[in-house]
Structure 1
Amino acid sequence: MKIGYFLSCEEYEPRELLEQALLAEEAGFEALWISDHFHPWNDEQGQSPFVWGVIGALSRVTRLPVTTAVTCPTMRMSPVITAQAAATAAVMHEGRFRLGVGSGEALNEHIHGDAWPSADVRLEMLDEAVDVMRRLWSGENVEHRGRHYTVDNARIYTLPDEPPEVYVSGFGPKSVRLAGRIADGYITTSPDTDLLDLFRETSGGKPAAAGFKAAYASSEEEGVRHAHRLWATSGLPGELAQVLATPRHFEQAAQLVTPEMTRDSLVCGPDLERHVASFQPYVDAGFEEVYVANIGPHYRDMITRFGEEVLPAVRAMAARDQKLDDKVEVAR
């Protein structure tokens, strides 16, 4: 299992993101995720740089593979422009760039004043967008008249040797089935084994990656304070994350999330054994890649301590589980 670090564009300004990437590589993390937002989830997070500028800069400070987690290539940025951005990123990272995509949130995609489509329509748009991008990555001149997109004599000239892989996020059966049909891999933020099994079944066993957050701090109480102040919005249920339109709306909804709910939802504080244990559900589920994001100001200490103790322990845990799986398979 590959262990990566998740760069949170909503919480950190660009120079901090570059520093985190450099520290993560030095600490032994094997890959990077980076979020793609126009707005943060709330004003306390306070950041949201243009991710493609940061991705370009990352190519100058690290050789770790980079994946967007995730880009919406359907509204705020068209599939044509997203395809060009991803192709350039793949060239700058010498093929170590992967495009993670999803159907998006109104928080980021409403900014041009378009109506927010239903979930079924958004998935239909994503399906068409991925097809358009792959055609553009062929280097050929593309003409397209689809249900949602028109492409008029477009050709991308700056291309990597191989087109970027496309991973598709999914948090319900419909989106997971789409991922299984069109994606090179699956992205999620939950160790939901039912959805993972559905993806494995519909994709023929393609790889899956998951990410989660940790609030490393000098005490559990401090970690809870940071996590609740910055990421209480993660505790909102159902489809709220897809349909609320502004950080203010998320702040209003997050008043329903208590500090105790935040405490129960992720590991806060300095207890490295608990941080190791937070990987266990993802190891048990069988994800090929797992990414962890820091919450709060102590990212330097978090990355260092994870590199020294958490990553080796998680790798040992994954190796033990793999040996057990191999023994079971032989016994069959």
Structure 2
Amino acid sequence: MVQFGYTMMTEQAGPRALVDDLVEAERAGFDFSVTSDHYFPWLASQGHAPYAWSVLGAGAQATERIGLMTYVTCPTVRYHPAVVAQKAATMQLLSEGRFRLGLGSGENLNEHVVGAGWPSPEVRLTMLEEAVVIIRALFTGENVDHQGEHFEVANARLWDLPGTLPPVGVAVSGRRSCAMAGRLADLVIATEPKPELIHAFDQHGGAGKPRVGQIPVCYDTDRDAAVARAHDQFRWSVGGWPVNAELPAPSSFEGATRYVTPQDMAQAIPCGDDVDDFVDAVRRYTEAGFTEVAVVQVGGEHQRPFIGWAAKELLPALREL
């Protein structure tokens, strides 16, 4: 059975609101949640970027059932993989086994802040693979020394490890990342409903593992208002990851999307309150082979109306899939 998730999007709400909305999402019946991990919003109109790991810790204490997951953390530039391993183990303990560690190669937007430069896509994938190996080694509970191409670890050990380790997910966008995810990850993560990504993941060892997708939506009883909000806060998403991973600041996304129209957004994501439009958009993921789909409601202050509508109309309709 496909599971349906709720997104705590740190770029569009402050930390207290994110946790409060997560509590409501659990009550509404969402199966799991995912959390973005950003230092900047994509666009200034979104207006937020709290520290995701503090939000996750608070969310673990405020909820009882709903799954928690980073979607995604970059363990290569802003964070060292040894520190990510410690954070993930701690989150699994705090949540009593509800946490999954989603990893990706990152975006310049968030990683440039430590002044270490922004590597090429090929190097970023190599760094991500080495980081996953380090995190897996630390999850054994043994002392780890590592001298690799990109990272060094000196006599590190995790002293607080959960009985059940957090599953590790890797975000993919092409054949090389799919091959790496198939070999090293417990689940695959993607933001596009492309069957070829799932097929490549399966070919390299991913068969039978969970596949987690994510889709933006903009619920509002006033469709025109929904379209306007989607354009104001989410037009960055139409650029595609080869572009989005390289731009360094919200102002860069403002410039890159200046020709994106509200009509473009109305075609790109479901807007309004027609449940069939939302179900059809999610169906593209289920038909592509995804076993879990998280929705992103656009607009930080518009979460509660969406969650209430989802509980009554959207989730029951999605269960029919």
With structure 2 as the length reference, what TM-score do the two structures score?
0.96
Distance 2:203 2:72 in 1: 23
- Letter of the 1:78 counterpart: H
Task: Deviation per CA, 1:144-196: give whole Å up to 9, x if none.
Answer: 11111111111111111122111000112221221112111100111111111
Map 1:1-332 to 2 at 5 A: 1-63=2-64, 64-205=66-207, 206-237=209-240, 239-296=242-299, 297-316=301-320, 318=321
Q: Deviation of residue 287 (structure 1)?
A: 1.1
Q: Deviation of residue 238 (structure 1)?
A: 5.2
Percent sequence identity is 41
Q: Deviation of residue 85 (structure 1)?
A: 0.7
Distance 1:102 1:223 in 2: 30
Distance 1:204 1:99 in 2: 17
Distance 2:266 2:74 in 1: 30
SS of 2:245's partner is helix
267-276 or 34-43, larger mean C-alpha shift: 267-276
| Structure 1 contact 79–132 (Cα < 8 Å) conserved | yes
Describe the shift of the 1:145–1:238 C-alpha distance in structure 2 as closer, same or farther (beyond 3 A). closer
Unaligned 5+ segments in structure 1 are 319-332
Distance 1:47 1:238 in 2: 21
Q: Deviation of residue 204 (structure 1)?
A: 4.0
- Letter of the 1:311 counterpart: L
Q: Deviation of residue 288 (structure 1)?
A: 1.0
Moved over 6 A (4+): none
- Letter of the 2:85 counterpart: A
The alignment's C-alpha RMSD in Å is 1.1
Distance 1:151 1:169 in 2: 24
SS of 2:271's partner is coil
- Letter of the 1:129 counterpart: A
| Structure 1 contact 236–257 (Cα < 8 Å) conserved | no
SS of 1:239's partner is helix
Distance 2:176 2:217 in 1: 29
Distance 1:225 1:52 in 2: 31
Distance 1:234 1:208 in 2: 21
Describe the shift of the 1:238–1:29 C-alpha distance in structure 2 as closer, same or farther (beyond 3 A). closer
With structure 1 as the length reference, what TM-score do the two structures score?
0.93
Q: Deviation of residue 118 (structure 1)?
A: 0.9
Q: Deviation of residue 289 (structure 1)?
A: 0.6
- Letter of the 1:219 counterpart: D
Q: Deviation of residue 232 (structure 1)?
A: 0.7
SS of 1:218's partner is coil
